[in-house]
Structure 1
Amino acid sequence: MIKSVLTFMRKPGMPVDEFQDYWLNEHPKAVLQLDGLQRYVQSHPLRSGYAKRDLPVDGIAETWWPDTETMKRNTGTAAWEALIADEERFVDRDTMNLLLVEEHVMKDEPVADHGFKIVEIVPRKKGMAVEDFQRHWRDIHGPLGASIPQVRRYVQNHARLSAYDRGRSPVCDGYAMVWFDSMDDMRASPSTKEYQATIADEANFIDHDRLDFVITKEHVIVG
């Protein structure tokens, strides 16, 4: 199975409420016409986040496919053209960044219906080899993050090595997705020794100057 993570900004001048409503209730009609789509998840930034700062993204869409061939086969079809036309209604397509990823589930416990999901945009430490970065993130940092008591679910999404072919540099090296049952749980987590050990380890493999995040509400459209 192949997974993609797509990030983007809303159309300039479009109110956040209008953008999120259209994306959630209208756009899936176009997405679901694609052939072979197995799972589709939208993550919408909490509206309260916009009052605090400029967010790095307005939307995060995750899709799962049987293989890359199935995904690519949609390109150029009538359904694909209709999808692009619909995106023009609410997305700034110049800001769209697609990353094919390898998913690693570090922790998988039930999340409350009113829970939320933090998505971190993760850049590797400057000068660090991709393979070393991925190994450290998965094998050393992953268990640390999963040990935080308040964390309910934790998934790492590593850029596929093909993203680096021929000297290319993806928009980021991966996405960390962490679920909490409540804001109170999230705010309590920094006081734990597990959280402190996790944060201390980040300097070993992450470029903190480029690390960013957004707090979201997840909507499972398919799957």
Structure 2
Amino acid sequence: MIKVVIGFKRRQGMGIQEFRDYRRDVHAPILFAIPEAKNIRRFVVSYPAEVVPAEEPRFDAIVEAWFDNSDDMNTLFQSDNFATRVDPDHVNFIDLTTVVRLVTEELIVIE
């Protein structure tokens, strides 16, 4: 199993709730409408907990997407649909200079 973890901040001038709503109501439907998204086995979005932080969180969201293997992951991210429909929408809600992406293999310690 391969997991992609992506962290990012919202685009400048966008409020946190506007960012969350846009990601859920506009961007997610674009992503899951393309046929290559069927390769995603699990998809989770995490937001910083609303507690009094000691400092500003580095990211406004963390996305985790699981795939059976790297070929399935590459089929999604290298597809024409992703390049022409999904990726162009990122600029509408993400500060692209803040994006950090890590492709991982999970080692489950406790379940």
Could you say which structure has the higher helix fraction? 2
How many residues align? The count is: 106
Q: Tell whether the 8 Å contact from 1:138 to 1:156 is kept in structure 2 after alignment.
A: no
State the TM-score, normalized to the length of structure 1: 0.43
Q: Tell whether the 8 Å contact from 1:163 to 1:169 is kept in structure 2 after alignment.
A: no
Structure number with bigger Rg = 1
Q: Which has the higher contact order (CA 8 A, sep 6+)?
A: 2
Is 1:181 aligned to residue 68 of structure 2?
yes
> How do 1:132-147 residues align onto structure 2 when only pairs under 5 Å count?
132-147=18-33
1:198 pairs, out of 59, 82, 86, with 86
**3-state SS in 1 of match to 2:95:** coil
- What is the RMSD computed on CA atoms of the aligned residues? 2.1
Amino acid paired to 1:200 = P
**3-state SS in 1 of match to 2:72:** helix
In structure 1, runs of 5+ residues without a counterpart are 1-114
TM-superposition CA deviations, 1:111-152 (whole Å, max 9, x none): xxxx21000012110121011011111222223333422222
> How do 1:64-213 residues align onto structure 2 when only pairs under 5 Å count?
115-147=1-33, 148-162=37-51, 169-189=56-76, 190-193=78-81, 195-196=82-83, 197-213=85-101
**Identity fraction in percent:** 28
Q: Tell whether the 8 Å contact from 1:120 to 1:213 is kept in structure 2 after alignment.
A: yes
- Aligned equivalents of 1:116 and 1:209: distance in 2? 25
**3-state SS in 1 of match to 2:107:** strand
Is 1:220 aligned to residue 108 of structure 2?
yes
Could you say which structure has the higher strand fraction? 1
